[in-house]
Amino acid sequence: MINTTLVLTYIYLLIYIILSSGVILYNKWVLSPKYFNFPLPITLTMIHMGFSGFVAFLLIRVFKVVAPVKMTFEIYATCVVPISAFFASSLWFGNTAYLHISVAFIQMLKALMPVATFIMAVICGTDKPRCDVFSNMLLVSVGVVISSYGEIHFNIVGTVYQVTGIFAEALRLVLTQVLLQKKGLTLNPINSLYYIAPCSFVFLAFPWYVLEKPTMEVSQIQFNFWIFFSNALCALALNFSIFLVIGRTGAVTIRVAGVLKDWILIALSTIIFPESTITGLNIIGYAIALCGVVMYNYIKVKDVKASQPTADSLPDRINKEWKMEKKSSDKFNPDVGGESPRVGGEINDEEAPLITSRLSHIGRTQLVNHAA
């Protein structure tokens, strides 16, 4: 007899892998001067944010699929605004890296994400320095350095953009925990898009006006509505696919899927973009870094299991949290604390960090580490 739940789980995982890889490859194709030739990463990111915010507005205000949360100006100014600023920065720097380095090398650099997140968590006081974690972080860093040394088309500008984007995203994750979770504010994915996407759009408008608006005025930039519409639609669909994956799978499954997706993406990028040459030193370095990431993930999974007060399985716990949120998603209670998890691995796709609820933190900051 076929287990319908298991089949659906694997279907959702497959959809996530396809959409995540597709968004990254699609962004590279759109931005690359050798292909669609739209070398304006801030403009592309603003299109994504504007589209996501518009869809969220329709779902909340017009079709009333979910109710908006009762958010005060103080909460918005002190929580949503800084989180949106670092979110916008991570997207801006990450997408700009596509102009200078290959998709394969970008994925290898993303192995630094646990390192950046751990450093930011220690600085912000949400995690403590640990010898076992530090040794894993050192292994990851050594692997990335070896991989960078083996990169044929190494570009310092693109590397700096990508690493800066990684640290901006790491800081966003930590701030999300500190600012939202400790205030007891819970947002479902649609509400997250509704509040964060427009704010990120506004932040991106400032660098766009200085860096890209003059270029658009003097250059003949082609604009194809269907290309940008489908690109933004894929980015939006990726947000919701991650939500479905988090709700149906456990820590190990998501981590394995993330690793599998990275290798598939590296292989596909060399086929779709022939200029993306992979050397033996690239593979060796990435394999070393991946060993550090896997050991780090193992430590974090053990920490999560040890901190669980009941014998409930993780999917059961997530489902309970989600049911609780559905009953109280339109309320803000400053006296109720959040989950306050350790910040660790996360789903880190270019257009998919807009899930900031308590549910997402169980999945994103404790369970999932894949690499936007």
In this prediction, residue 347 has a pLDDT band, given cuts at 50, 70 and 90, of: low
Q: Please answer whether residues 79 and 185 qualify as being in contact, where contact means their C-beta atoms are separated by less than 8 angstroms.
A: yes
> Would you say 109 and 205 are in contact if contact means Cβ atoms under 8 Å apart?
no
Q: At 331, is the pLDDT very low, low, confident or very high (cuts 50, 70, 90)? A: very low
Is pLDDT larger for residue 57 or for residue 353? 57
**Nearest in space to 115 (alpha carbons), one of 301, 262, 286, 293:** 293
**Higher per-residue confidence, 308 vs 4:** 4
When pLDDT is averaged across residues 272-284 and rounded to a whole number, the result is 90
What token pair was written down for 216? Answer: 């658009």
What is the tens place of the pLDDT at every residue in 28-54? 999 998 899 999 999 999 999 999 999
Task: State the pTM of this model.
Answer: 0.81
**Residue 309: what pLDDT?**
61
Q: What pLDDT band is residue 297 in, cutting at 50, 70 and 90?
A: confident
Mean per-residue pLDDT for 349-362? 42
Is the CB of residue 347 less than 8 Å from the CB of residue 258? yes
**Residue keyed to tokens 């604009």:** 223
pLDDT band at 180 (very low <50, low <70, confident <90, very high): confident
In this structure, are residues 349 and 23 in contact, taking their beta carbons and an 8 Å threshold? yes
Average pLDDT over residues 87-106: 95
pLDDT at 323 over 70: no
Beta carbons within 10 angstroms of residue 211's beta carbon: 15
353 has a pLDDT exceeding 70? no
The reported pLDDT for the residue numbered 147 is 92
pLDDT for the residue 330: 42
Q: Which pLDDT does position 369 carry in this prediction?
A: 36
E strands within the chain?
Answer: none
What is the mean pLDDT of the segment spanning 223-235?
94
pLDDT bucket at 355, cuts 50 / 70 / 90: very low
With beta carbons less than 8 A apart as the criterion, state whether 107 and 270 touch.
no
Residue range 106-160, pLDDT digits in tens: 999 999 999 999 999 999 888 889 898 999 999 999 999 999 999 988 999 999 9
The full set of domain ranges for the chain reads: 2-304
Of 2, 230, 199, which Cα lies nearest the Cα of 83?
199
pLDDT over 90 at 318, yes or no: no
User: Could you tell me the pLDDT band of residue 336, with boundaries at 50, 70 and 90?
Assistant: very low
Q: What is the pLDDT of residues 66-80, one digit of tens each?
A: 888 888 898 899 999
Of the spans 91-95, 192-196, 348-352, which averages the highest pLDDT? 91-95
- Give 191's Cβ-side CA count (13 Å radius): 22
Asked whether 77 and 355 are in contact (CB, 8 A), the reply is: no
